Amino acid sequence: MVFIRDTEMSLRAGAALVNTLRNVSFDETDTLVSTDDLDLYLAEYPFTGRIRRDEVELRELRAARARLRELWSVSRVDAVPIVNALLRDGRALPQLVIHDGYDWHIHATDDSDPLATRILVEVAMAFAEVIRADQWDRVRVCSADDCDAVYVDFSKNGSKRYCDTGNCGNRMNVNAYRRRRARQTAGSPRPLPAASRSG
């Protein structure tokens, strides 16, 4: 395992939130436009504490996405002031907690803080671990030529190249196969007309 469980969960939740942006995924669809979309996100990435599921909360989460996206656009060193600002703005106060069948882990905000604040701080705490572990090379943007989705590579050997949002790996493999076939077809000699072969 590259990171402890709660760090990995926060990194996955942060990437998934960023990947709801319209200009990130290969199909350019904003997937966080309604409270129903918010419910879908929270079903996959549950957070404890107060959750209002209203338009204000939705608006705050939509605004949080750009701040998180920045982390995938910078170097390890340049991520430090971003992480520190997220922790400072969220008034982070790390504390050990245990609940809902999870073992001891850290919460750095109050359960009554806005959901967007709690997510920003939890993701910032997770990125602090990435920085401290010197694993920044695992913070990646999809290598597909038509996708800018973000992810953190949790594979053992750190070889993941594509996100999981749009089946990008399969699409790029099919595209590469088609290009190879086209080159092979273009490079193979054309058969001679029947009259030329008989001569």
Q: Could you read off the pLDDT tens digit of each residue along the chain, which spans 199 residues?
A: 579 999 999 999 999 999 999 987 667 889 999 999 999 999 999 999 999 999 999 999 999 999 999 999 999 999 999 999 999 999 999 999 898 888 888 889 999 999 999 999 999 999 999 999 999 999 999 998 888 999 999 999 999 998 887 678 777 777 666 777 777 777 666 665 555 554 4
Phi, psi dihedral angles at 155 (to 5 degrees): -65, 155
Distance CA 139, CA 129 (A): 12
Q: Which of 85, 92, 83 is nearest to 113 (CA)?
A: 92
Helices 115-132 and 55-69 pack at an angle, to 10 degrees, of 20
Element (H, E) at 98: strand 95-99
Q: pLDDT at position 190, please?
A: 60
In the chain, pLDDT over 90 holds for what percent of residues?
62
